[in-house]
Chains A and B, each alone.
Chain A
Amino acid sequence: CTSVVAEDKTGKLFHARNLDFGLFLGWNATTHAWKVTEQLRPLVVNLDFQRNNATVFKSVNYAGYMGILTGIRPKAFTLTMNERFNIDGGFIGILEWLLGKRDGMWMGFLTRQVLENATSYEEAKNKLAQTKLLAPAYFILGGNKSEEGCVITRSRAASLDIWEISLKQGRWYVLETNYDHWKDPLFLDDRRTPAMKCMNRTTQANISFGTIYDVLSTKPVLNKLTTYTTLMDVSEGKLETYLRDCPNPCMPW
């Protein structure tokens, strides 16, 4: 996955992501594609969660999965999550849950609860940073005011780091793939360097839905695991989702 929160020169925030899933889950030698990735694409839907006929939040889901990987609470915040691999992973969390130790939260259910109940960027950030989880994760959160954008790096028990947009330091966007931002990505899976190169080339003055879509369409940011690209504008409550494919030549991850 690749997620990015960026602020333009007027203080408007954009949040976008590629959702990549299905690595090593079967290879279709005829279509040159991952099997599960192919089967997930037709399940991608935009959801408008309503109460009293009014939108509470919107999300992008795979039909049948009720947690949230990508969502927007209009005028308040935007949220995506990226997978964080760790030896102390969710498998242990599930075992603990089965054995009756149930003080941790399932990742997808926490993000759903945050989108349903939190009403501000700060409230969402605190809940995502402080709630004990069953699995490690990266939460990428955007707000509706200048400099409200961060990557929360989570272990199961705690927040390891919160990396925020800082205009003073020249950091007008934060971008996360599937590696801790203070470490180098795996050399075989470096989507961060090309994505940042394209963001830097775009410049803050030109950031928009169109230019972010360009970045997320550049291989290997776009790859054979990419199921969809979502663009979100919190101030207008806008969410657009496009199903993706990556015909050859294209990186398998």
Chain B
Amino acid sequence: VGQYVPPYTEECRSGTYPPSGPTFKGQAPWYKINLDISPRQRWHQLISDKKAELNSLIQGIKDLANAFFPSGKLVELVDKYMGPLADTLPFPFGDEIKGIAEAADIPLGEIVLFNVFYELFTV
């Protein structure tokens, strides 16, 4: 119960490696990104494999936005105004983002938003 309330209460762990048990949820899979092929193509395999998970995340963020703005206007604004931002990004990032949006079948503005999430969340 002490874990719910700061300050820190747990003793330093030991013997947790190699990972196992309830805090370990598996190893991350490996993918190759070939920098020799066009930026629009290089993420295709990865995004095809992770399309369902990526769509689920984007939908989750949209649901959250719609909870605050039930009219759906915020998502509309993202789709309308964030997409063109891709053309202003330095090479090769704009083309890579377009390739990701195409492979995931997600509106470009929503993939741009995902890629500038860090900048949005530093306030």
A→B interface (CB under 8 Å): 25-26, 35-36, 39-52, 56, 60, 63-67, 83-87, 89-91, 93-94, 97-98, 102, 106-109, 112, 116, 134-137, 187-190, 193-194, 197-198, 201-202, 209-211, 213-215, 217-220, 222, 228-229, 240-251
Contact = CB atoms under 8 A, between A and B. Distances in A.
A209 B123 contact: no
B19 A108 contact: no
A5 B42 CA distance: 31
B7 A187 contact: yes
Contacts of B27: 240-243
A219 B6 CA distance: 11
Given A40-B57, A108-B115, A217-B13, 9 more contacts: A42-B50, A45-B46, A63-B49, A85-B123, A109-B89, A219-B10, A220-B10, A242-B25, A248-B3
A190 B27 CA distance: 28
B6 to A, nearest CB: 5
A210 B12 CA distance: 13
A83 B121 contact: yes
B64 A26 contact: yes
Given A50-B34, A246-B23, A228 B28 contact: yes
A214 B28 CA distance: 19
A18 to B, nearest CB: 11
17 contacts: A36-B64, A39-B53, A43-B50, A46-B31, A51-B35, A63-B47, A65-B114, A66-B43, A93-B119, A106-B119, A135-B118, A198-B13, A219-B9, A220-B3, A244-B25, A249-B3, A250-B3
Interface of B: 1-4, 6-19, 22-36, 43, 46-47, 49-50, 53-54, 56-57, 60-61, 63-64, 85, 88-90, 93, 96-97, 100, 104, 111, 114-123
Contacts, number: 218
A90 B120 contact: yes
B118 A45 contact: no
Contacts of A25: 61, 64
A46 B118 contact: no
Contact of B93 (A40, A66, A187, A219): A66
Contacts of B10: 194, 218-220
Given A25-B64, A90-B123, A102-B88, A48 B28 contact: no
Contacts of A107: 118-119
Contacts of B89: 106, 109
A90 B17 contact: no
Contacts of A64: 47, 50, 54, 57, 100, 104, 111, 114-115
B28 A247 contact: no
A108 to B, nearest CB: 6
Given A106-B116, A243-B26, A49 B122 contact: no
A86 B93 CA distance: 26
